Chain A
Amino acid sequence: MIIKLLLLAAFVTLALVAARTTPSPGFLAVRRIFIMGALATSALAVVFPDAVTRAARMVGVGRGTDLVLYVFIVVAIVGWLGTYRRLLDLEGRFAHLVRSQAIAEASRPSPPLLDTAGDR
């Protein structure tokens, strides 16, 4: 069945993308184009419901709703991975910030250290 190939391909691509893409203007552009495409496709699917069923049949899925569900799952995972990546990145920056502040505000020991009387 074609859908099996398509879905498996989608998961493999996801794994690769998740592992190596770094945020870049090019990547952002691709994502925006993808989102616009998805919106347009959704609008078409609303206007022509039969088209979804026909598309489903073409890839070997029985009903249009099933195809929609599959696509939804893939898209949801993409979104989740993206969010997770961003969260990791944010945590990294956050840690960096807290660390810099801790170093900047280092406080020396309150009593004079041993053997250093008069050394202040």
Chain B
Amino acid sequence: MLSDSPTTAPQAEQPRFGPREACVVIPMHNEATVIASVVAGLRPHFSTIVCVDDGSTDGSDRVARAAGATVLRHAINLGQGASLQTGISYAVRHTATDLVVTFDADGQHDALDAVRMVERARRGDVDVVLGSRFLDGGGLSVPASRRRLLKGAVGFTRLTTGLPVTDTHNGLRVLTSAAAAELQLHTRGMGHASELLDQVAANRWRVCEVPVTIAYTEYSRAKGQSSLNAVNILFDLMLQRLYPVR
């Protein structure tokens, strides 16, 4: 991927890739065993991959860097929402990206789904493309208990935001850099998925969903959230409304 434009960029931060490159942001926390394969799976399709290491203690940052990712390291653990926000801020301000892709570190997403979502976003008629595992009758591979919980979250989101979404907690998304620059995630924990959709609705961004597959591996299931975490997410959301942070 040689860039043919002369890169006489004034800032050292400017990337050497041509314009119109999508940038992938991966929040990670102690994912040393899988992050290399996740980054390797994305490398053929994306030139800039940003891993945000949320205070890992297992050397995830070194593994990710060796696999070809740019690594941003939180000195301490701040939560997935904060990691996403850090990565998105970096992508918008320090790379020549026009699309920001968010991708989970645990290997449950398919890089080809991300590619299809980027192609969808390139048509230019939407600001946000969301991955959905339930679109077009999908989601049969989703464990039943998880499915019930996710449906509940979908109902809640539709009620509070009016967005006609089918999957609210999918880590695979594409945002135009204009939208990404406006995004302000304050919920540092897992409530950020709902917070993001709240902002999509509040900013009246044009949104569409693309069906994606989720690989429920032994690893991702072990890493995944306990269903009881839904209570925490609800609580975070209410606090968010009660105490808007600036």
Among residues of B, the one whose C-beta sits closest to the C-beta of A120 is B16
| Contact A95 to B78, CB < 8 A, known contacts A105-B73, A109-B70, A119-B2 | yes
Interface footprint category on A: 20 to 34
Partner of A113, one of B1, B61, B86, B242: B1
Q: What residues on B are CB-neighbors of A107 within 8 Å?
A: 61, 65, 70-71, 73
Q: Judging by beta carbons under 8 Å apart, are B94 and A101 in contact?
A: no
Q: Judging by beta carbons under 8 Å apart, are B52 and A102 in contact?
A: yes
Q: Judging by beta carbons under 8 Å apart, are B65 and A88 in contact?
A: no
Among residues of B, the one whose C-beta sits closest to the C-beta of A108 is B70
Partner of B78, one of A18, A98, A110, A119: A98
| Contact A102 to B74, CB < 8 A, known contacts A88-B243, A95-B82, A119-B16 | yes
Q: Is A63 an interface residue (CB 8 A)?
A: no
Partner of B73, one of A89, A102, A111, A115: A102
Q: Give complex CA distance A71, B75 in Å.
A: 43
Q: What residues on B are CB-neighbors of A115 within 8 Å?
A: 1-2
Interface residues of B in 67-95 (CB under 8 A from A): 67-76, 78, 82, 85-86, 89-90, 93-94
Q: Judging by beta carbons under 8 Å apart, are B242 and A18 in contact?
A: yes
Q: Judging by beta carbons under 8 Å apart, are B85 and A113 in contact?
A: no
Looking at A19, A95, A102, A106, the one whose CB has the most chain B CB atoms below 10 A away is A102
B-to-A contact residues, CB < 8 Å: 1-2, 13, 16, 43-44, 47, 50, 52, 61, 65-76, 78, 82, 85-86, 89-90, 93-94, 186, 188, 239, 242-243, 245-246
Could you list 27 examples of A-B contacts with CB < 8 Å?
A18-B243, A88-B239, A91-B188, A92-B245, A95-B188, A98-B78, A99-B74, A99-B78, A99-B86, A101-B75, A102-B72, A102-B73, A103-B72, A103-B90, A105-B72, A105-B73, A106-B50, A106-B71, A106-B90, A107-B71, A108-B65, A108-B70, A109-B67, A109-B68, A110-B65, A114-B43, A116-B16
A-to-B contact residues, CB < 8 Å: 18-19, 85, 88-89, 91-92, 95, 98-99, 101-103, 105-111, 113-116, 119
A95-B82, A99-B89, A105-B73 known, 14 other contacts, Cβ within 8 Å:
A19-B242, A88-B243, A92-B246, A95-B188, A98-B78, A101-B75, A102-B74, A106-B71, A108-B70, A109-B66, A110-B66, A111-B68, A115-B1, A115-B2
The 8 closest A-B pairs by CB, nearest first: A102-B72, A109-B68, A99-B86, A110-B65, A92-B245, A103-B90, A106-B72, A98-B74
